[in-house]
Structure formats: C-alpha cells, structure tokens
C-alpha cells in the first residue's frame, strides 16, 4: 500500500518589498546551504546587454542583468524567473553562486518564514562611472553595517581603474 504524500508548500513567494519594488520571501523555513533558485533569463553578450539598455535613463539603476563571465550576461528581463526579484542587502542571508556558467541563489544562513531573501549584488565599479554613481546605486537595506551602495568595492576607483573587486559580480 502506497502512502500519498502531501505536496510541499512552495519554498519562496514574490510580493511587495520594503527594500525595493518586489522581493522574494521565504514561504517556509530555508536551511543554510539550500540552493533556492537558479537565476534564469536570456544569455547574451556584454555588447548586447549594453545595447539593450543604452537608452535607459542613467539615473535608473534597475535592471535584471547578471554577469556570468567575461562573455556572458543573463538578462532576466527576457525569460527570467522569480530570482530576478531577490533584492540587495549589505548583510545578506543568501549569496549568488556561479557553477558551470549557471547562477544559483543559496542560503548562507537559516532563513525563517516571511523573511526577505537578499544577496550582495557587488555591482562592479567602472572607470567611467558618473560622479553620482553611488547615489544612483544607493543601498536602502537598513543594516547596521550598510555601506550605502550596491557597488563594490565600497570605495571609488583610483585613476588607473584598479579596484581589487571580484570579477564575478552581478550587473544589476
């Protein structure tokens, strides 16, 4: 005799966020180390990603782009899933993990039901950033250790453009 199992409740849900727009929230307890969701969307070149958003207002920091490597960007605005709504925080409960050119969001600590999922976007600074780039990419996470910006590193680039930042960072 087989026992029928009740389907598990969804792991996450998307709803309005106090941080920004829509956010992703734990629908049930998520244990540390859980691979929650893959960041999906159309895979394009950096040149194509730039072309798609070249007419975008410079003061609008909202995109669904995620840099995978030197050749590939995921544009979750095209064929994306709920992962595109995970917001930034300076003290996040998740991290992005790139594995075999795929991007996953994983829990770095146990997340309780109702808690918003976040990861540190670590958006790469560029030499040609406008002077107000930190205001454009301002962070509103409210953490006691908030650096005030979604950009990484937290300081501006020097004249040579050297930052020491990691190369595998989301491009949001």
Q: List the domains of the chain with CATH numbers.
A: 12-152 (2.170.270.10)
Phi, psi of 64 (to 5 degrees): -115, 35
Q: Tell me how far apart the alpha carbons of residues 119 and 143 are, in angstroms, rounded to a whole number.
A: 13
Q: What is the pTM of this model?
A: 0.82
Mean pLDDT by 10 residues, the chain (172 residues): 70 95 97 98 94 73 84 95 96 96 98 97 85 87 90 60 35 46
- Cα distances (angstroms) measured from residue 71 to each of 49, 66, 67, 74, 148: 11, 12, 9, 10, 30
Decide if 131 contacts 159 (C-beta within 8 A). Answer: no
Q: Tell me how far apart the alpha carbons of residues 94 and 23 are, in angstroms, rounded to a whole number.
A: 13
């Amino acid at each position: 005799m087989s026992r029928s199992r009740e389907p598990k409740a969804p792991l996450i849900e998307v709803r309005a966020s106090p941080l920004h727009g829509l956010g992703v929230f734990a629908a049930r307890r998520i244990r540390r180390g859980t691979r929650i969701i893959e960041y999906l969307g159309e895979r394009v070149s950096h040149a194509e990603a730039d072309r798609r958003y070249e007419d975008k207002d410079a003061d609008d920091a909202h995109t669904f782009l995620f840099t995978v490597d030197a050749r590939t960007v995921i544009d979750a605005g095209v064929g994306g899933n709920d992962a595109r709504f995970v917001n930034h925080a300076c003290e996040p409960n998740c991290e992005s993990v790139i594995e075999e050119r795929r991007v996953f969001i994983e829990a770095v600590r146990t997340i309780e039901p109702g808690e918003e999922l976040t990861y540190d976007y670590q958006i790469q600074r560029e030499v040609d950033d406008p002077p107000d780039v930190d205001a454009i990419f301002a962070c509103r996470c409210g953490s006691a250790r908030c650096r005030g910006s979604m950009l990484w590193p937290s300081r501006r680039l020097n004249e040579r453009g050297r930052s020491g930042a990691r190369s595998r960072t989301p491009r949001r």
